[in-house]
Amino acid sequence: MLRALIVSHLKLATTDYFLSDKHAITVADRHPQPEFATHSHDFNELVIVWRGNGLHILNDVHYTITCGDVFYINADDHHSYESVNALELDNILYNRQRLTLGADWDRLLPDAGTDQRQRYWRLGTPGMSVLRQQVDALADECMKTDPLSALLSEALFLQVSLLLMRFRHAPDSPLLSDAEQLDLLLMALRVSIDQQFKLDDFCQQYHLNARSLKQLFKQQTGMGVNQYLRQLRLCKAMDLLRHGQQTIGEVAACCGFEDSNYFSVVFNQSVGVAPREYRQRFQKNLAAEHIIRS
C-alpha cells in the first residue's frame, strides 16, 4: 500500500548525455523544448529561457516561464515542462564532480543546500544578449573532441556562470540594469522638453534609486540630468526660433519654461544672445541668402 504512494520518476544519466567521461558540460539546445515528464538526473542543469512560454514545475512548485528566466537545477531536484508554447531554451548540463578548474563553484552555482527561491532568476535584455553569445560559444566547444576542448568548455562555462552573476536579478526585484535605467531616463527626458520633469517622481514611478541614477547619468554622459534637459530645451528653442513663427513666450512654453523672462536669461547665458536677437540674426541671414539667390 505504502509502495503505491511512492512516486517514481525517470532518472537521467550522465553517460547518456555527455560526449566523453572527461566532459563535465554539454549544452542541450532545446529549440523548442517539448513537454517533458517529471524526471531527475545524476547531473545538474542551468536553464536559460530565450523565447516562448510554458509551465516549469520544479520540485512541485509551478513557474510560468518565458524569455529571460534562469533556473539552477540540482541533480536531485525533480522537474517537468508542461503546456509549452514555442518554448525555446538552452539547457546547460554539468557534472559537478567532473569540474577541475579551481573556481569557487559553490558560490557560482547554488547547490542542493540552497533555497529554491535562490535558484530562480531573471535576465534583462542586455544580459540576455551577452549570455546568448557566450552560450553559443560554449555549445560549440562542448561538441569538440580534441584534448583541450573539455578544459576550454569548462573555462567558458565559468565565464557563463560569472556573467549570470553579473546580469541576473531576482524575479520580483523591480531593478533594471544600468543600461535600461539610462535608456528609460533619456527617453523620459526627451518627452519632458515642454513639461516639468522631476527626477524624484520618475524614480518613484520606476522604483529606482535617485542617487545612484544621478551618478550613473553623470558617469555615462559627462553631464548632470538638469544640465542635459536644459540643453535639450535650448536646442528645441533654437530650432523653433529659426523656423517657427511663435512668439518668444510661446517658444519658452514649448520648451518647458513657464516664465519667458527666465527663458531669455537662460538662453542668453548659454547661446550668447537674447532669443529675439537670435531669431532676427537668423532671419536676416535667410533674407540675405534669398537676395543672393534671386
To ligand RM4, the closest distance from the beta carbon of 3 in angstroms equals 26
Which of 255, 258, 254, 251 has its CA nearest to residue 278?
Answer: 251
To ligand RM4, the closest distance from the beta carbon of 116 in angstroms equals 16
> 94 or 267: whose CB is closer to ligand RM4?
94
Asked if residues 76 and 33 have their Cβ atoms less than 8 Å apart, the reply is: no
Residue selected from 22, 36, 140, 180 as contacting ligand RM4 according to rule CB under 6 A: 36
Assess 41 for contact with ligand RM4 (CB under 6 A): yes
To ligand RM4, the closest distance from the beta carbon of 146 in angstroms equals 25
Asked if residues 28 and 35 have their Cβ atoms less than 8 Å apart, the reply is: no
Assess 12 for contact with ligand RM4 (CB under 6 A): yes
> 57 or 271: whose CB is closer to ligand RM4?
57
Residue selected from 19, 22, 28, 98 as contacting ligand RM4 according to rule CB under 6 A: 28
Segment near ligand RM4 (CB under 6 A), from 29-37, 154-162, 203-211, 225-233? 29-37
Assess 33 for contact with ligand RM4 (CB under 6 A): yes
> 12 or 210: whose CB is closer to ligand RM4?
12
Residue selected from 30, 56, 168, 233 as contacting ligand RM4 according to rule CB under 6 A: 30
Q: Which of residues 87-116 bind ligand RM4 (CB under 6 A)?
A: 91
Name the residue number minimizing CB distance to ligand RM4. Answer: 91
To ligand RM4, the closest distance from the beta carbon of 1 in angstroms equals 31
> 138 or 255: whose CB is closer to ligand RM4?
138
Interface ranges with ligand RM4 (CB under 6 A): 12, 17, 28, 30, 33, 36, 41, 45, 91
